[in-house]
Amino acid sequence: MTSFSMAEPRHPAAGSAPSPCQDHCTARIMALTRGIVRLGASLQPSCGRAAFHPSARAPLLLGHAQVLLGGLRLQHSAPQSNKCQWQLKEDCFELTYGGLVMHFDYVWLRDHCRSASCYNAKTNQRNLDTANVELTIRPAKTRVDDETLFLTWPDGHITRYGLAWLAQNSYEGQKKSAVQPRILWDSDTYTNAKISSISWEKFMSCDDELKNFLRNFLLYGIAFVDGVPATLEDTEILTQRVSLIRETMYGRMWSFTSDFSRGDTAYTKLALDRHTDTSYFQEPCGMQVFHCLRHEGTGGRTLLVDGFHAASKVLEQSPENFELLSRIPIKHEYIENMRDHRNHMIGIGPVLNVYPWNNEVYMIRYNNYDRAVINTVPYNVVQRWYVAHRELTMELRKPQNELWVKLKPGKVLFVDNWRVLHGRESFTGLRQLCGCYLTRDDVLNTARSLGLEV
């Protein structure tokens, strides 16, 4: 399944300036239109910007395009060049470019005009009032040159679209690629990947190292920093290099031990089965940071399991169970009576949250402790949901999927709480853990600012 495999990283929008790989791409497109690129032949670009060519990102479309190009019946259209063909269809504008057949709704085209009066390029915001676009609008005139489509609208306004821009922003060009590239893992594959921990000094001082750290964190959903001074303050400084801290009812930075100071099993010495945290938030916390400041005793190892890997197995084995887990809304709840007030949190959403256009899982909400009463579906659906939930649980519990680590003072663990489940072994003795939750948007923002395409 494409959505679960490691997809090509996304590339920045190609500008209109010719890129060094353009000739290379053009040659391939010409080859394609002549039908001499074999199905399955790799279109991997030989230069970094070749993703401007849509089929470089979606080589699977190649064979499809060959067939279609061979049998295209063109109406109201003019072949503009070897690599681009278009036709004004009744309900959409059809564009074939770089081996990709795309369909654009006419209102969409008017709405996405990037002219100075319709779009503010300084703020990257739309100026055009979409509500003023006639819903039956059609272009009065169409022209395509090598790299640009020109549409003249009935009122005379002209929109220019880069063909590469259209390819990149079309449904067809987008649906096969993962929004968030990832490498699914079990214990062996993660261990064999030998992702080295980054040292605290490098993490704090070198942007390239931080970028590398974030790349791995986003690909695997976990990452470690070593040699961090074992204090809450230093842990806080560390995390702020990556993101804003997400404050919750547990505080901003938290530090906890088995004193049952809060009404939750986390604050005991008991084992905790694999789970995601804050499933009882409408938007569960994106990332979690753990730093074990001290442990004098036995046990207490941390368990990590790749939830996306387990979900991909369910999809492979029984799509109907995957579907149930991604459709049925489930409630999670946190009820805590504090001395002077009460916390009551409710989060509702499916166990597997997927993007509908590519079935890519972007968030798993799995916490059997905090799952609330199911009353959102009738009993016969509940039955099927339990079957699906069981299958996912079995996957999550396979010993080969369990990565066990012992957190020690100095070793900080980052967990993508939308993906990787954590748990812990029971323990004896004094054990103190500190950490915080991070705002997912800010982690991704930092990653993008360092040049990562996520």
Ligand X SMILES: O=C(O)CCC(=O)C(=O)O
Q: Give the interface with ligand X as residue ranges (CB under 6 A).
A: 266, 272, 277, 302, 422, 424, 433
Nearer to ligand X, 266 or 450 (CB): 266
Which long-range contacts (C-beta less than 8 Å, at least 24 apart) are formed by 46-51? 46/21, 47/19, 47/20, 47/21, 48/11, 48/21, 49/11, 49/14, 49/19, 49/20, 49/21, 50/19, 50/21, 50/24, 50/25, 51/8, 51/10, 51/11, 51/14, 51/168
Across-strand partners of 325? none
408 contacts 292 by C-beta, under 8 angstroms: yes
Q: H or E stretch including 237?
A: helix 232-240
370: partner contacted, choices Fe ion, ligand X, ligand M3L, none (Cβ within 5-8 A by kind): ligand M3L
The tokens 């579906």 sit on which residue? 377
Residues from 77 through 116 that contact ligand M3L (CB under 6 A): none
Query: Binds 424, which of ligand M3L, Fe ion, ligand X, none (CB < 5 to 8 A, cut-off by type)?
Result: ligand X
Q: Tell me the sheet residues that pair with 336.
A: 343
Identify what 254 binds: ligand X, ligand M3L, Fe ion, none; CB under 5 to 8 Å per kind: ligand M3L
| Whole-angstrom distance, CA of residue 187 vs CA of residue 190 | 5
Contact 333, 346 (CB under 8 A): yes
Task: Please say which residue, 112 or 422, places its beta carbon nearer to ligand X.
Answer: 422
Beta-carbon contacts of 297 under 8 Å, excluding residues fewer than 6 positions away, are 427, 428, 429, 430, 431
| Distance in Å, CB of 302 to ligand M3L, minimum | 12
Q: What share of the chain is helix, strand, coil (3-state, %, to 5)?
A: 30, 25, 40
Q: Segment near ligand M3L (CB under 6 A), from 136-144, 216-224, 270-278, 380-388?
A: 270-278
Contact between 278 and ligand M3L per CB under 6 A: yes
At closest approach, how far in Å is the CB of 374 from ligand X? 23
DSSP code of residue 130 = G
Residues 264-283 that bind Fe ion (CB under 5 A): 277
Q: Which range, of 17-25, 103-111, 250-258, 444-452, touches ligand M3L by CB under 6 A?
A: 250-258
Residue found by looking up tokens 């169409």 in the block: 142
Q: What is the smallest separation between the CB atom of 191 and ligand X, expressed in angstroms?
A: 20
Closest approach of Cβ 278 to ligand M3L, in Å? 5
Among 8, 147, 186, 277, indicate the residue that binds ligand M3L (CB under 6 A). Answer: 277
Closer by beta carbon to ligand M3L, 254 or else 355: 254
Q: Which of 119, 150, 256, 362 binds ligand M3L (CB under 6 A)?
A: 256
The residue number whose beta carbon is nearest to ligand X equals 424
**Strand, helix or coil at 41?**
coil
Q: Report, in Å, the least distance between residue 17 CB and Fe ion.
A: 49
Binding residue for ligand M3L (CB under 6 A) from 254, 257, 409, 450? 254
Taking the complex as a whole, the smallest distance from the CB of residue 344 to ligand X amounts, in Å, to: 19
* Nearest distance from C-beta of residue 272 to ligand X, angstroms: 5
Structure tokens that stand for 105 in this block = 């709704």
Smallest separation, CB 122 to ligand X (Å): 43
Q: Is position 404 an interface residue for ligand M3L (rule: CB under 6 A)?
A: no
- What is the rounded CA–CA span in Å between residue 294 and residue 300? 11
Binds ligand M3L by CB under 6 A, chosen from 171, 357, 369, 404:
369
Q: How many CB atoms lie within 10 A of CB 349?
A: 18
Which two tokens mark 33? Answer: 């239109």
Instruction: Report the partner that residue 119 touches, choosing among ligand X, ligand M3L, Fe ion, none (CB closer than 5 to 8 A by kind).
Output: none
| Residue from 77, 367, 432, 446 in contact with ligand M3L (CB under 6 A) | 367
What's the closest the beta carbon of residue 369 comes to ligand M3L, in angstroms? 6
Entry field: residues in the chain: 454
Contacts of 420 (CB under 8 A, 6+ apart): 221, 222, 304, 305, 306, 307
Q: Note whether 250 binds ligand M3L by CB under 6 A.
A: yes
**Binding residues vs ligand M3L (CB under 6 A):** 250, 254, 256, 264, 266, 275, 277-278, 367, 369-370
**Binding residues vs Fe ion (CB under 5 A):** 277
